[in-house]
């Protein structure tokens, strides 16, 4: 509680001195150990000051959510429970809360009710899991059992991505043996949206990967058009919607996700816009049999009692894992539909307000701010990098850097429930001060 209360007054990035004092948490392992209270005291004394204050309201780096109070407390309780959600028999409560939370998320994101969901560590693993289901389905259609035989001798799979696909989608493809560099890349427009008319002709096993919410501009691929064309060719359509899919929950932003529901699989995060503690990702697959076929394998062990209806371990990569659904359930239960809509809408409003203040202060906003992402240029690449570094040193807020369409930019991502208008105004003033200096 003391740590959370201190977030308001401290610098967002830790001081160099705080980071140097982490030395005190190293050293050789003691012979006899220490009392639990002493252990926690040291964590707080040396660990807390060296954290990045991303749990507060003025952290705008990467795409980082905070933790809603109910979700954080649920996380502590779930830690005490220490449940393993491999199987229903191991944790009836963990499995029930996961299923309930997944169902609520499915509804909030406008995904088909019959889709099968699973909790994973984040959108990287959600992409991996969904694409494993895709790989299974398109190769099964071609008469190849990839789970049994691997990819050696398999028919080639065409994989299509947009030029602005997130790096973790490519990593997932690499981990699945589908290759990071052999993908066909579709050019994007000035906002980073895939140009549907440039989708290549598809034939044979094929997977098309769309994005709902670019990590830089927040832009959405035109999924309706892309999936109509891809489906005509029998291809699988996947949507990486790590944070962008949540726009569906806010009526005024819903149009941005148009067509996402027509895909075959979706990846999203709880730990970004839903403000659930790390690590919380979710995968959904339209036809559960494909996800189950791709993720099963545990059934071979006679000591693991599987059920007709499917156990959590049959839909996710891990066997043992913590009950991630508890935190997500608590976040959703505390917010309700209206609360989720308001959280998404408020973040977008804050992003718009920040962009407006920076524009009025003479900065160049490089993207259409329709979601929660803002890209800012302060003139030359060199100057933009220097201003970004100065903002980070100042400590009022934290924004990262990127390269957008060949130009250096400062990235602002408003994803925290804790951000207030006052945080936005203080941050805009700090950024403008750094630019002026």
Q: Which stretch binds ligand PLP (CB under 6 A): 42-50, 209-217, 247-255, 361-369?
A: 209-217
Q: Using the rule CB under 6 A, is 281 a contact of ligand PLP?
A: yes
Q: Are 115 and 285 in contact (CB under 8 A)?
A: yes
What is the C-alpha to C-alpha distance for residues 269 and 240, in angstroms, rounded to an integer?
10
Radius of gyration of the chain (CA): 23
Q: Which stretch binds ligand PLP (CB under 6 A): 47-55, 119-127, 325-333, 424-432?
A: 119-127
CB of 328 to ligand PLP, least distance (A): 13
- Binders of ligand PLP among residues 34 to 63 (CB under 6 A) are 62-63
CB of 123 to ligand PLP, least distance (A): 3
* Closest residue to ligand PLP, based on beta-carbon distance: 122
CB of 211 to ligand PLP, least distance (A): 6
Cross-sheet strand order for the sheet of 281-285: 116-120, 281-285, 265-269, 236-240, 206-211, 158-162, 184-186
Q: Which stretch binds ligand PLP (CB under 6 A): 122-130, 150-158, 291-299, 305-313?
A: 122-130
**Closer residue to ligand PLP (CB): 106 or 211:** 211
- Determine the 3-state secondary structure of 351 from DSSP: helix
Give the Cα-Cα-Cα angle 8, 50, 124 (nearest 5 degrees).
90
Closest to 285 in 3D by CA, of 251, 333, 352, 236 = 236
**Closer residue to ligand PLP (CB): 90 or 159:** 159
What is the C-alpha to C-alpha distance for residues 4 and 56, in angstroms, rounded to an integer?
8
DSSP 120: E
- Binders of ligand PLP among residues 165 to 184 (CB under 6 A) are 166, 168
Evaluate the CA torsion angle 105, 109, 113, 117 in order and state its sign.
Answer: negative
CB of 88 to ligand PLP, least distance (A): 26
Q: Is 352 exposed, middle or buried (0-12, 13-18, 19+ CB in 10 A)?
A: middle
- Binders of ligand PLP among residues 211 to 250 (CB under 6 A) are 211, 213, 215, 240, 242-243
Binding footprint of ligand PLP, residue count (CB under 6 A)? 15
**Closer residue to ligand PLP (CB): 124 or 416:** 124
CB of 277 to ligand PLP, least distance (A): 13
Q: Using the rule CB under 6 A, is 122 a contact of ligand PLP?
A: yes
CB of 125 to ligand PLP, least distance (A): 7
User: Of 66, 91, 124, 265, which lies in the binding site for ligand PLP, with binding defined by CB under 6 A?
Assistant: 124
Q: Using the rule CB under 6 A, is 123 a contact of ligand PLP?
A: yes
DSSP 220: B
Q: Are 410 and 391 in contact (CB under 8 A)?
A: yes
Q: Using the rule CB under 6 A, is 276 a contact of ligand PLP?
A: no
Q: Using the rule CB under 6 A, is 192 a contact of ligand PLP?
A: no
Q: Are 102 and 117 in contact (CB under 8 A)?
A: yes
Query: Which of left, alpha, beta for 152 (phi over 0: left; psi -120 to 50: alpha)?
Result: beta
- Binders of ligand PLP among residues 298 to 337 (CB under 6 A) are none
* Residues making contact with ligand PLP (CB under 6 A): 62-63, 122-124, 166, 168, 211, 213, 215, 240, 242-243, 269, 281
């Amino acid at each position: 509680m003391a740590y959370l209360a201190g977030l308001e007054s401290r610098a967002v990035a830790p001081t160099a001195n705080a980071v140097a004092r982490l030395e005190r948490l190293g050293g050789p392992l003691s012979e006899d150990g220490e009392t639990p209270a002493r252990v926690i005291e040291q964590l707080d004394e040396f660990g807390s000051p060296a954290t990045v204050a991303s749990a507060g309201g003025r952290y705008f780096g990467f795409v980082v959510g905070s933790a809603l109070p109910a979700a954080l407390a649920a996380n502590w309780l779930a830690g005490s429970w220490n449940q393993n959600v491999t199987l229903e028999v191991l944790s009836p409560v963990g499995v029930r809360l996961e299923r309930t939370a997944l169902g609520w998320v499915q509804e909030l994101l406008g995904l088909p009710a019959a889709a099968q969901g699973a909790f994973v560590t984040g959108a990287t693993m959600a992409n991996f899991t969904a694409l494993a289901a895709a790989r299974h389905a398109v190769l099964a259609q071609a008469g190849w059992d990839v789970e049994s035989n691997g990819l050696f001798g398999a028919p080639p799979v065409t994989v299509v991505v947009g030029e602005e696909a997130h790096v973790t989608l490519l990593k997932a493809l690499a981990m699945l043996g589908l290759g990071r560099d052999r993908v066909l890349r579709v050019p994007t427009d000035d906002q980073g949206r895939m140009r549907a008319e440039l989708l290549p002709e598809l034939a044979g096993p094929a997977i098309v990967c769309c994005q709902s919410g670019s990590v830089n501009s927040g832009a959405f691929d035109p999924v309706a058009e892309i999936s109509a064309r891809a489906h005509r060719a029998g291809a699988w359509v996947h949507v990486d919607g790590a944070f962008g899919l949540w726009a569906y929950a806010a009526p005024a932003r819903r149009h941005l996700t148009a067509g996402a529901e027509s895909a075959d699989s979706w990846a999203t995060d709880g730990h970004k816009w839903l403000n659930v503690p790390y690590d919380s990702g979710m995968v959904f697959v339209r036809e559960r049999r494909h996800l189950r076929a791709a993720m099963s394998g545990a059934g071979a062990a006679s000591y693991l009692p599987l059920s007709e209806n499917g156990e959590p371990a049959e839909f996710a990569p891990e066997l043992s894992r913590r009950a991630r659904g508890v935190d997500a359930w608590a976040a959703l239960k505390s917010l309700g539909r209206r609360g989720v809509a308001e959280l998404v809408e408020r973040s977008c409003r804050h992003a718009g307000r920040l962009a407006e203040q920076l524009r009025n202060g003479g900065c160049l906003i490089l993207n259409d701010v329709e979601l929660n992402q803002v890209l800012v240029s302060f003139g030359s690449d060199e100057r933009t990098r220097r201003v970004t570094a100065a903002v980070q040193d100042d400590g009022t807020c934290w924004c990262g850097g990127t390269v957008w369409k060949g130009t250096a930019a400062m990235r602002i991502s408003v994803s925290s429930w804790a951000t207030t208008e006052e945080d936005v105004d203080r941050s805009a003033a700090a950024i403008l001060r750094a630019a002026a200096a």
